[in-house]
Structure 1
Amino acid sequence: MEELLQAQLDAQRAGEAYAVVTIAEASGSVPRKNGKMLVFFDGRTLGTVGGGPAEQMAKRDALAAIDAGENRFLHYNFPSPDGASCSSRLSLLVEVFQPKPLLVVFGGGHVGTSLLRLAKPTGFRALLFDDRTEEQIPEAVSLADRFVRVENVERDILNTSIPTGAFFVLCGHDHAVDGEALAAALQKSPRYIGMLASRRKILSLFAMLKERGVTQKELDFVHTPIGLDLGGETPQELAVGILAQILLVKNGKDSRVRL
């Protein structure tokens, strides 16, 4: 039990979705009358509700519940192996735990810091990447739930645990570094990527990425110009426009609207 609790805490800290599957009722010749199993978003499991085909079905249905983001009550009937009329029954409660959405900010400059300041009040956890030290960008680091200093940008982002469906904002300070960050972000199954850059810079970066094999379809996924055009030019106003666009994506609205 202690191992299961620790695994849940670890998943919550990592921002990973998971389900707790608990035997609610069991009758007949089921392997277990009580038990609990964790099913993680990537298919990993811990604990057991009896093993065998029933557990495989429970895992499958728990993953479906995670994808749907809803709790479920599952019922399974198994015929008696000797052909008797009395079958075995198993009822399972599936409780889904979805983390807050993750905002990934690359670049702790003025716009990045302003965006991080808005993350928590709007329900996001925030992960900050930057190639500078904590001492160089103390305010941005203090606003993030987690800070990762990168040396090899693409490698370090790829090696960081980031759940599927994260929201990426790339607002770095170096042309080449931003390209590496974008290449990594495209491989992280994001729900949103936005990039703060001039048209000239974007065209140059996209040409470089195409040479590396990135498809036009992947590049079309990137929001640039980034954010809703609210008419402002300050970092704070730009951050509000960026977050507004992210919220449109999160809530299933048209994020390509430019006001």
Structure 2
Amino acid sequence: MKDIYEVMNDLLCSREDFVLATILEKSGSAPREQGTKMIIKRDLSIEGTIGGGILEAMAIKMSADIFKNKRFVIREFTLSNEGASAIGAACGGSLKLLLEYINPDDEAMNFIYKKSFELKNKGDNFVFITRLDEKENYVTGIDKWICTETGFYGQENDMTQKILRKVRKNFKNIHFHNVREDDRLYLVEPVLNSESVYIMGAGHVSQKIAVVAKMLNFKTIVLDDREEFANRENFKTADEVKVIQSFEDISHCVKIDNRSYIIIVTRGHGYDKEVLAQVLKTDAKYIGMIGSKTKRDFVYKRLMDEGYTAEDLKRVHCPIGISIGAQTPEEIAVSITAEMIKVRRES
């Protein structure tokens, strides 16, 4: 599944206009969070979701006018219990939705979204800033900026510098929010921890990998079928720790895309082959499996007997990690995460 920034980049490169829907605010049990985005194309098909059901139907209907007048609108929606039920929420809530026209002929717009895609593809953290003039209701590329920890993209002015100084003071902990300055609304959207690492197995090596991966700004998810191993006591820094029923079917509990890094370290290698067979069917950016060359060859032969090809298996880093003579769990963690960095920076 393509990331929303990749879809936007593809559309702009193809000179296709679209309407971008963004949830600005939410309260109650509205199903999606602030910052959630959905793309509405000219044919009214969509990419992504802002919650489904009535809400998306209304957004799509409104987009027809936006394509005509090429302006943005901000609308508040109150979901009754009945309406909330239609989109999978337990009870009613409310949200504020931004619908903006994205013009492929606006070179500044093309540049800023291309840059956001490049940064996200590299795994760099950044903050996307959009100026919304509610009197004009018109957004161009010069109303958008990108701020990284050390870089800035867009047309600089005194007001954006003021906002950037605030952003950089708390860069890694900043949240999606709106700022009102000079009678305009500025939308501040952090794109942080954009890459995820799934650690399949919760042993001693996994504990060290989780610590180092988090330091490198990966969203870190640990999975195991043993609660005594997969718990917060053992993985204090991980973003998520999941106890699963079985490694034989992980599709229901993970969402693997081309921003995902997979580390296969199941207990005693008992489920490594089963996990590898499943993740080879995804477009994961990195797949690494721990073990010797002998173990690797055995697993590969079994997979090829099942119909996997040599080309499929070229995607796998096994033995996992950069060769540094690692022996301890800490050294192995450094070796593996160094290889992940290499993949991140070379892609």
Which TM-score band applies after superposition, normalised by the shorter structure? Answer: 0.5 to 0.7
Provide closer, same or farther for how the CA distance between residues 242 and 180 of structure 1 changes in structure 2, counting only shifts above 3 A: same
Q: Aligned residue for 2:315?
A: 221
Q: Aligned residue for 2:245?
A: 151
Looking at structure 2, the residues matched to 248 and 102 of structure 1 have their Cα atoms a distance apart, in angstroms, of: 15
Q: How many residues align?
A: 210
Looking at structure 1, the residues matched to 119 and 144 of structure 2 have their Cα atoms a distance apart, in angstroms, of: 11
Looking at structure 2, the residues matched to 217 and 185 of structure 1 have their Cα atoms a distance apart, in angstroms, of: 14
Provide closer, same or farther for how the CA distance between residues 146 and 131 of structure 1 changes in structure 2, counting only shifts above 3 A: same
Q: Aligned residue for 1:230?
A: 324
Equivalent residue letter for 1:99: L
Gaps of 5+ in 1: 13-17, 19-28, 38-45, 74-88, 254-259
Equivalent residue letter for 2:100: V
Deviation at 1:159, TM superposition (A): 4.5
Q: Does 1:168 align with 2:262?
A: yes
Gaps of 5+ in 2: 1-20, 27-31, 38-47, 49-66, 76-96, 121-127, 131-137, 146-188
Cα offsets for 1:78-112 (capped at 9, x unmatched): xxxxxxxxxxx973556675332211111111111
Any conservation in 1 of the 2:197–2:213 contact (CA below 8 Å)?
yes
Q: Which aligned pairs between 1:197-216 and structure 2 lie closer than 5 A?
A: 197-216=291-310
Deviation at 1:194, TM superposition (A): 1.0
Q: Which aligned pairs between 1:66-105 and structure 2 lie closer than 5 A?
A: 67-69=117-119, 91=140, 93=143, 98-100=191-193, 101-105=195-199
Any conservation in 2 of the 1:158–1:184 contact (CA below 8 Å)?
no
More relative contact order, 1 or 2 (CA 8 Å, 6+ apart): 1
Equivalent residue letter for 1:68: E
Cα offsets for 1:120-171 (capped at 9, x unmatched): 22221101111111x3343443332112222232422454223422111111
Provide closer, same or farther for how the CA distance between residues 251 and 111 of structure 1 changes in structure 2, counting only shifts above 3 A: same
Looking at structure 2, the residues matched to 10 and 183 of structure 1 have their Cα atoms a distance apart, in angstroms, of: 34
Any conservation in 2 of the 1:34–1:49 contact (CA below 8 Å)?
yes
Please point out which of 175, 200, 207 is paired with 1:106.
200
Looking at structure 2, the residues matched to 98 and 187 of structure 1 have their Cα atoms a distance apart, in angstroms, of: 27
Equivalent residue letter for 2:69: P
Any conservation in 2 of the 1:65–1:72 contact (CA below 8 Å)?
no
Deviation at 1:116, TM superposition (A): 0.7
* Identity %, equivalent residues: 23
Deviation at 1:10, TM superposition (A): 7.2
Provide closer, same or farther for how the CA distance between residues 144 and 151 of structure 1 changes in structure 2, counting only shifts above 3 A: same
Any conservation in 2 of the 1:105–1:171 contact (CA below 8 Å)?
yes
Provide closer, same or farther for how the CA distance between residues 57 and 246 of structure 1 changes in structure 2, counting only shifts above 3 A: same
Equivalent residue letter for 2:73: G
Looking at structure 1, the residues matched to 306 and 315 of structure 2 have their Cα atoms a distance apart, in angstroms, of: 17
